[in-house]
């Protein structure tokens, strides 16, 4: 008796389960297929990547001379022009060096005048001795002595002239060092970082210490990191756009400038940098902003769109020909060959074989068309 009770209980559970599964459609009716209508719209085939924004051009401003940083005349965010005074280093030592070189130069020039006067006298004495010797009024030894004095005076003038040239060169270097005590902007831009502090002692004897960074924020560069699987699809000059985390609706359009050949490896993933520039006249784009980048491989405007899942590709060598299952005017399915243009992982653009509003059957379950037709579930593209 217990055996029959258990059997009846199992049978009841099976019946209840079938009822819950199929509802009131009837156990013998087949599941209705999913359908979708052909719509009109845009389709884009693209490669996505993440990137960061960087200034298109920047320079790290350093100190060319050592000394105490006396003053900093700018702050982060200030806009400067080329030649703008940025900072001053205590010039006391360099002023003293310039004064010493100038004093030495004045002394040498005075000595040169004395040597030139002695040279003039040596020339006169040599000429007199030569005339006297011609009249046998002096000895040859006196003429030779006058010649030696003349050559010595000439050599002293030449040596002193060389010393003056050397001192002038040293003076130019000292004056340059004095000018370096005033740090000026080498380019127009925005001060984006200041590393030094007023009162800090700078040592430029071995390496030029960096004071601040000036960047040109009027034009920004996007550095997108593209995987090795996608980088071969990119070509310089192709259309590209990006969005930022702060405003995903705002699209910034540009063209790809170049792809750097040396990759970076992050978490065992090989990535290549793809670079392109974007104008930033309003300063909305800032350094180190994260971007979502879209490289446009192909696109179709106002095309007939169908889901990729509705297509069956029968010829692997011809990706532009596919088959779809179309519901005709009698509601009967028929196979139709269509021409595929641009496609991505979701949609495909059809150029021939379909019209707007055609109803397609998605591959999967079939239905018994002898039974009363039920409304198929439509899928929005």
Task: Please indicate, yes or no, if residue 174 is contained in any of the structural domains.
Answer: yes
Ranking 6-10, 178-182, 287-291, 352-356 by mean pLDDT, the lowest is 6-10
Residues 72-100: tens digit of each pLDDT: 999 999 999 999 999 999 999 999 999 99
Q: What is the pLDDT of residue 229?
A: 94
- The Cα 257–Cα 278 span in angstroms is 11
How many domains would you assign to the chain? 1
User: Residue 78: how many CA atoms within 13 Å on its side-chain side?
Assistant: 16
Q: What is the pLDDT of residue 329?
A: 83
- The Cα 162–Cα 184 span in angstroms is 34
Task: Please indicate, yes or no, if residue 376 is contained in any of the structural domains.
Answer: no
Residues 15-40: tens digit of each pLDDT: 555 554 555 444 445 556 788 999 99
Task: Please indicate, yes or no, if residue 118 is contained in any of the structural domains.
Answer: yes
Task: Please indicate, yes or no, if residue 282 is contained in any of the structural domains.
Answer: no
High-pLDDT (> 90) share of the chain, %: 71
- The Cα 358–Cα 374 span in angstroms is 17
Burial of 202 (C-beta count, 10 Å sphere; 0-12/13-18/19+): buried
**Domain assignment of residue 133, given as a range:** 92-180
Task: Please indicate, yes or no, if residue 312 is contained in any of the structural domains.
Answer: no
Residues 225-249: tens digit of each pLDDT: 999 999 999 999 999 999 999 888 9
Q: What is the pLDDT of residue 259?
A: 96
Task: Please indicate, yes or no, if residue 134 is contained in any of the structural domains.
Answer: yes
Residues 145-184: tens digit of each pLDDT: 999 999 999 999 999 999 999 999 999 999 999 999 999 9
Residue 11, sorted as left (phi over 0), alpha (psi -120 to 50) or beta, turns out to be alpha
Structure tokens at 17: 């389960």
- The Cα 92–Cα 178 span in angstroms is 9
Q: What is the pLDDT of residue 1?
A: 53
**Closest of 106, 68, 111 to residue 88, by C-alpha:** 68
- The Cα 336–Cα 314 span in angstroms is 12
- The Cα 63–Cα 182 span in angstroms is 9
Model pTM score: 0.67
Task: Please indicate, yes or no, if residue 125 is contained in any of the structural domains.
Answer: yes
> Which H helix or E strand runs over 304?
strand 290-307
Ranking 1-5, 142-146, 283-287 by mean pLDDT, the lowest is 1-5
Residue 371 has pLDDT above 80, yes or no: no
Backbone angles phi, psi at 90, to 5 degrees: -55, 115
**Closest of 332, 361, 354 to residue 38, by C-alpha:** 354
Task: Please indicate, yes or no, if residue 138 is contained in any of the structural domains.
Answer: yes
- The Cα 204–Cα 196 span in angstroms is 13
């Amino acid at each position: 008796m217990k055996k029959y009770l258990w059997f009846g209980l199992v049978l009841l559970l099976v019946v209840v389960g079938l009822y819950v599964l199929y509802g009131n459609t009837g156990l013998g009716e087949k599941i209705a297929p999913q359908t979708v209508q052909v719509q009109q719209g845009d389709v884009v085939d693209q490669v996505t990547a993440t990137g960061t924004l960087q200034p298109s051009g920047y320079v790290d401003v350093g100190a060319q001379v050592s000394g105490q940083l006396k003053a900093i005349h700018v702050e982060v965010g200030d806009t400067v022009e080329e030649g703008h005074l940025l900072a001053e280093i205590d010039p006391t030592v360099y002023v003293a060096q310039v004064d010493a070189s100038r004093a030495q130069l004045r002394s040498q020039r005075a000595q040169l005048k004395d040597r030139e006067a002695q040279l003039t006298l040596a020339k006169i004495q040599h000429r007199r001795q030569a005339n006297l010797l011609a009249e046998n009024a002096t000895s040859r030894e006196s003429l030779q002595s006058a010649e030696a004095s003349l050559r010595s005076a000439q050599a002293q003038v030449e040596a002193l002239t060389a010393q003056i040239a050397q001192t002038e060169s040293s003076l130019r270097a000292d004056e340059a060092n004095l000018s370096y005590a005033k740090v000026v902007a080498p380019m127009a831009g925005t001060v984006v970082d200041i590393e030094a502090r007023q009162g800090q002692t700078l040592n430029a004897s071995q390496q030029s210490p960096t004071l601040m960074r000036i960047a040109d924020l009027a034009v920004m560069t996007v550095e997108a990191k593209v995987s090795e699987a996608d980088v071969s699809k990119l070509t310089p000059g192709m259309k590209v756009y990006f969005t930022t985390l702060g405003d995903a609706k705002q699209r910034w359009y540009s063209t790809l400038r170049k792809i750097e050949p040396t990759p970076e490896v992050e978490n065992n993933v090989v990535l290549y940098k793809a670079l392109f520039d974007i104008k930033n006249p309003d300063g909305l784009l800032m350094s180190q902003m994260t971007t979502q980048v879209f490289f446009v491989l192909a696109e179709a405007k106002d095309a007939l769109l169908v889901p990729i899942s509705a297509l069956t590709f029968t010829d692997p060598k011809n990706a532009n020909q596919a088959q779809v299952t179309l519901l005709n005017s009698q509601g009967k399915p028929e196979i139709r060959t269509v021409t595929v243009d641009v496609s991505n992982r979701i949609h495909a653009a059809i150029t021939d074989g379909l019209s707007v509003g055609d109803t397609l059957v998605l591959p999967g379950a079939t239905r018994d068309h002898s039974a009363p037709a039920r409304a198929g579930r439509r899928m929005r593209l």
